[in-house]
Chain A
Amino acid sequence: MEQVRCLLALEAAGAACSAALWRDGRIIAHRFAPMRRGQSEHLVPMIEDVMGAADTAYDSLDALAVTVGPGGFTGVRIGLATARGLALALHRPLIGISNFESVAAAVPASEHTGRILVAVLESKRRELYVQAFAPSGDDELRPLAPGAAVPPDELDAWLPAGPVTLAGDAAPAAMAALQAAQRDAYPASSPGLADAVQVATLAAARPLPLPGSDMPQPLYLRAPDVTPAPTGVP
């Protein structure tokens, strides 16, 4: 397997916007800004800023990485469209990382020893986006089930039995729901928003997609709202 030496990662699906450049085992440039909207304006200048700060030309990149969601639908697409555009124009592979993995990877291993690690993300609806990972011990994050959109009052029943550590921007909401269900739960100390730093680090450890493989797909976890356009038929 060809070793990745230089990788650019982006994140715009959560309530923030970030870019990070990973080279030879470490992050050498990073920008992060929390924002609910405005990623379409900030993301590409932020990438340019990171490339400039790292003194790296685009054609030195071996690969790109991006979060695929779940998160805001628009943010998911802003990140993916940008990353696909870069991958296309540079003829480089693109690696997709879920926002669950990104927030889970930020949790120190000591905080989920013997505890299920649960990534819980804001959906801006009643449901929480949630995915459970095995307790620390493995080198890699090991998901216990695919991610899902789960109402808070069903969260306890949806999760595997056992003590949990919660990560992600919806951790407070999940905390309240799980405490009400008498579950042993506590929040991780790591930031709740996905960040390109984790995206880069996770992606650099993955095998490179083969040339010609499909682009990473968005992870929406919710069907589209079918409100017709304002200019559509009444």
Chain B
Amino acid sequence: MGKLGGKLGGNLAFKSGGQHRARALVSAAMIVLGIETSCDDTAVALVDSERHIRANLVLAQLDEHRPYGGVVPEIAARSHLDHLDTLVTRAMAEAGLDFDDIDAVAATAGPGLIGGVFVGVMTGKAIAAARSLPFLAINHLEGHALTVRLTSDAEFPYLLLLVSGGHCQLVAVEGIGRYHRLGTTIDDAVGECFDKCAKMLGLGYPGGPALERLAQGGDPARFDLPRPMMGRDTLDFSFSGLKTAVRHRIVDIGPDELRGESQTARDLAASFHAAVADVLADRCARALTVFQTRCGRSGPLVVAGGVAANQTLRARLSEVAAAGGTHLIAPPPALCTDNAAMIAWAGIERRRLDLRDPLDFAPRPRWPLGEVGGPVSA
């Protein structure tokens, strides 16, 4: 700098003034580091309050869990520890930021597999302590619930369908920390049902996306599968009966006819898909009328969670929303599956209300969305 200054004189003064202003503009935006380690993805992101995702890294552990046909908590926890610090370093480098540029640290503190959650929370607390930054213990579901405000101009309230491997719920999202659950699954989550049916069809783990692909070439009307809870007055879901029905069909058909993505396998996958879509559509249509009564507006309908990456279901939910006089908002698939951008964003939303969490925050393996705190006045 000194050398250059001597050579370029006034020109440099102008330049550095410009740089200074640019830096001031950048720092006007709050930047939050987000950490997500609650299941089988290690994720780190940097997001600013102007809704720019500065870095968004997700390291999937699929290969480590595949031999066991499901997520093994201890393997997941070990893997999170193995990779998290490198991922933080890489995210900072990709965003061209140092810890001095960060305004807060947000980490998923539950619900989820607690061994992994500990790794993310402790890393987050340590960075926050070392840099005297606010720490935010984010509820993973709140991350999903607020993603749409990172990716669109969605304003409160909205009706959220949260569908993932661990959850299936309908929530009236009325503000930060104001999450009113309208309905939830009484047994399996919808993503879990997808994965289990996929496994029964020999599609490996995780089978949800493979099942969606298989269904595309199938006849959804060939197999008559149950639509649990459809038409019922509540807004709850149930998927275990559907899963059992699929198992019975598979036993009846026999392995030979289902081998190698046969037409029968495609038809069964498509029939399963149709049943799930019908149930979700029925529940959402009903929920929209309840939401209208409660919140005084017709929508919008927002879908989030890993299953929200399913294009067939998205299309169906779009129709439901339109029929209910509103529209569907779905974040891009990469922000529907687990990621840390949503955790950083939830951190930004909470920091805007001056919320923070103490460094003795105890991670919560079970943490219903309705128990997430908000501003005191709420």
Contacts and interface: CB of A to CB of B under 8 A. Distances in A.
Interface of A: 38, 40-45, 47-48, 58, 73-74, 77-78, 80-90, 215, 218, 220, 224-229, 231-234
A61 to B, nearest CB: 9
6 contacts: A41-B360, A44-B126, A81-B119, A83-B126, A88-B89, A215-B85
Given A84-B85, A228-B68, A233-B196, A77 B205 contact: no
Interface residues of B, number: 47
Given A73-B77, A74-B114, 8 more contacts: A44-B359, A45-B358, A74-B77, A74-B115, A81-B126, A89-B130, A229-B113, A233-B205
Interface of B: 68-78, 81, 84-85, 88-89, 99, 113-115, 118-127, 129-131, 165-166, 189, 192, 195-196, 199, 205, 358-363
B75 A224 contact: yes
Contacts of A227: 72-74
B174 to A, nearest CB: 28
A165 B273 CA distance: 66
B230 to A, nearest CB: 24
Given A229-B72, A233-B195, A77 B115 contact: yes
Q: Is the interface of B mostly helix, strand, loop or mixed?
A: helix
Interface of A is mostly: helix
Contacts of A84: 84-85, 123, 126
A229 B126 contact: no
Nearest to A232: B70
A231 B115 contact: no
Contacts of A82: 122-123, 125-126
Contact of A228 (B71, B89, B118, B126): B71
B69 A44 contact: no
Closest 4 pairs between A and B when the two form their complex, measured CB to CB: A232-B70, A85-B126, A224-B74, A81-B122
Contact of A229 (B73, B85, B358): B73
A227 B74 CA distance: 8
Contacts of A48: 129, 359
A121 B83 CA distance: 27
B93 to A, nearest CB: 12
A42, A83, A231, A234: residue with the most chain B Cβ atoms closer than 10 Å: A231
Given A45-B359, A85-B123, A77 B118 contact: yes
Interface centre among B122, B360, B361 (most CB of A within 10 A): B122
A217 to B, nearest CB: 8
B85 A85 contact: yes
Contacts of B362: 38, 40-41
